[in-house]
Amino acid sequence: MTEIERVVDASRYVAAAYSILWVALVAYVVSLGSRVSRLQRELALLAEVVQRRGSEK
């Protein structure tokens, strides 16, 4: 195997590693986004419950 072939093979591995890293990062950001959305909905629901209880008194 020549030096050029080794460099090409190595660059493929580096590209694959970066691709996996980017996919994992995007999945993590999407996961965080969905968690934040769920927490916002729950917070809005709690605020509504607190407001109702405050107006009942």
pLDDT digits (tens, 9 = 90+) for 22-43: 999 999 999 999 999 999 999 9
Which of the pair, 57 or 18, is modelled with greater confidence?
18
Please tell me the predicted confidence (pLDDT) of residue 31: 98
Kindly report the three-state secondary structure assignment for every residue of 1-51. Answer: CCHHHHHHHHHHHHHHHHHHHHHHHHHHHHHHHHHHHHHHHHHHHHHHHHH
Q: Indicate the pLDDT class of residue 19, thresholds 50, 70 and 90.
A: very high
Percent residues over pLDDT 90 in the chain: 75
- Please report, as a single letter, which amino acid is at residue 9: D
Q: How far is CA 12 from the centre of its chain?
A: 26
Mean local confidence (pLDDT), 2-29: 93
Please tell me the pTM assigned to this model.
0.71
